Structures are given as C-alpha cells and as structure tokens.
Amino acid sequence: MKKILVTYKIPSTGFDELGGDYEVIFPKGDKISEEEINEHIGNTDAIVSVFGHALSKEVIDRAPQLKIIANFGVGYDNVDINYASEKGIVVTNTPNPVTEPTAELAMGLMIAAARKIGSLNNKLRTAEGVSVGVMKNLSTTLTGKTLGIIGMGAIGQALARRALAFNMKIIYHNRRPLSSEIETQYQASKIPFKDLLKTADVVSLNTPLTAETKHLISHDELELMKSSAFIINTARGNVINENDLISALKASKIAGAGLDVYENEPHIPEALLALDNVVATPHVGTATMETREEMSMQVSDNIKKFFAGELVECVVNA
C-alpha cells in the first residue's frame, strides 16, 4: 500500500477514488503539524505539497521512500526542483485547472484598476462619500487599448481571449514566438520586451518565477512604461520589485496596478494598500471551489498514473 501525505487540508475529491492501494493522510488542522510529519514521513511514498508553502530539504531528507512530490498548484517555486531531481524524486504540478480562473481574475483586476472600481467602492463607504458630476470620477476605458502580455502561455492566451472581447490589441513577449496559427487566433504580435513596456496601455505578468524572472519589473522597466499605463500581476510577487513599484505608483510614473501576488506573502505592504490607484486581492487567482476540486483530482490522478507506470503529463523535472 502506498502512503500519500497531504500537507494542507484540500478537497478530498479524487483521493476518494484512489482505492485500497493507497493510504491518504490528511492533516488534522488546516496544515500539517510537525508532530504529524514525524509520525508519517518515514514511510511516505508521495507528498502533496501546496503552492505558497515551502517543502523543505529537511523534510525531503527524512522521507527515504519518497518517489513523487505532487504539487497542488501550477507554480512550484515552493519546491526545490534541483534537489528533488538529485534525489530521484519526480515533481508534478496541476496546470490545467488553474488557467481559466487565473485569467478571469487578471481580467477583473484590469477592469477594476482602469475603471477605478476599487477606489470608488472604498470612497462610497466613507463618511465623505463621492461627489457626483459629469466630469468627476473619470476613469480609463479598456476598449481599443493595447494589452502587453509578458508570458503568453496557457494563462496569457486565456487572458488574450478575454481581452479580444473588449476590442483590445494584443502584443506579447516570450522567450520563443508562438506559432503563426496561435498568433492569428489571438491577433497577437510578438515584440521585444522593452518595446512592449513602452507601447502597452496595460502590462500583464503571466510568467513563472525563475532566476531570470525575479524582479523582471524594477525601476528601469517601470520608467519605460507610459504614465497612463497599468500593470497587472497574477504570476508571482517576486516578478516585480515591490519597493520600486510603490515608488512608481506614488510618483504617478504609472497610472495604477492590479495585484494578486506579493513579494513576502502573506504580508502585503501597508504602503500598497494605502494607494488609491492599487486594486489588491490576497492571492486568490485560483481560489474557486470548482478549481480547488479540479486541482485535487489532477493531483491524485498524477500520483495514480505515476505509480501505475503510465505517462504523467504534468512532470516539471522530467
């Protein structure tokens, strides 16, 4: 019997269908305790790690039977991939369920930031309220504007599809160009990174966090952007230098930001929250009940296929 150690209380959907060949250990609380780790880690065959919660080398070293780390999330920067590979441990993720909800939230942040939905909502709830008039509370339309997507993978393409419904123009930057068929489908043009920053009315970050993308957007990049432009981040907080972003927003170097991720989560700087031109959500890009259940199903399916010797499409350290 294979033992699966789940480090966070996620939906049991999918795990219930694994059958008698598997023993699934869920934490008693929201996340697994050190006591529970000590009890089970020695004979654990699979660990379900959760994005945003680091799986330490020390825990991996205490699991001599560990064969697979099935990450609950598309981003896997919470797992030391190189170390897992050195130990001969396969790491998988769950890319398919997260695509549409993340793009959905990115689109929502774009609308909220450009149309000042967040700041107006907040002001309406204060004693001062909002002064109403024909030339008051003016915002920016997205219709006809240029969306620059940095990281035109599955999520970036799902966002592009939504933006086309707003009659937005799509430009993107990737390490590699998309096929001509995909570019035609999304009416998208690949342009150099700096040109994208100079051109786009909205810049959306949809790239994974790597050594190359850490602080991809810092002071110099923000200086290239239009003063009327907005930046949207549903990728990882460390893709943006947060201090530089705060400075740019305070100085009106850019018009605003829609943020779902932050450098030191779960901490969100008070300086960001105090700004009227920032719409903030607490890393909820994939936080729908439907998505969480789909992610659990894919995690359990990855584990089942791995131990059955079948092809697992979601291996990230192949």
- Which pLDDT score, from 0 to 100, does residue 203 have? 99
Assign a CATH topology to domain 99-280: Rossmann fold (3.40.50)
**Catalytic-labelled residue, pool 104, 162, 236, 242:** 236
**pTM of the model as a whole:** 0.90
57-77 pLDDT tens trace: 999 999 999 999 999 998 888
pLDDT at 308: 94
- Return residue ranges of the chain for CATH 3.40.50.720: 2-93+288-307, 99-280
**DSSP result, 216-273:** -B-HHHHHHS-TT-EEEE-S-GGGB-HHHHHHHHHTTSSSEEEES--TTTT---HHHH
- 230-271 pLDDT, tens per residue? 999 999 999 999 999 999 999 999 999 999 999 999 999 999
Is-catalytic flag, 34? no
Residues of the chain with pLDDT under 70: none
Annotation says 175 is catalytic: no
2-93+288-307 under CATH 3.30.365.10, yes or no: no
Catalytic residue among 17, 86, 265, 310: 265
pLDDT value, residue 20 = 87
Rounded Cα gap, residues 303 and 15, in angstroms: 10
265 carries an active-site annotation: yes
Q: Given this model, what pLDDT does residue 283 score?
A: 95
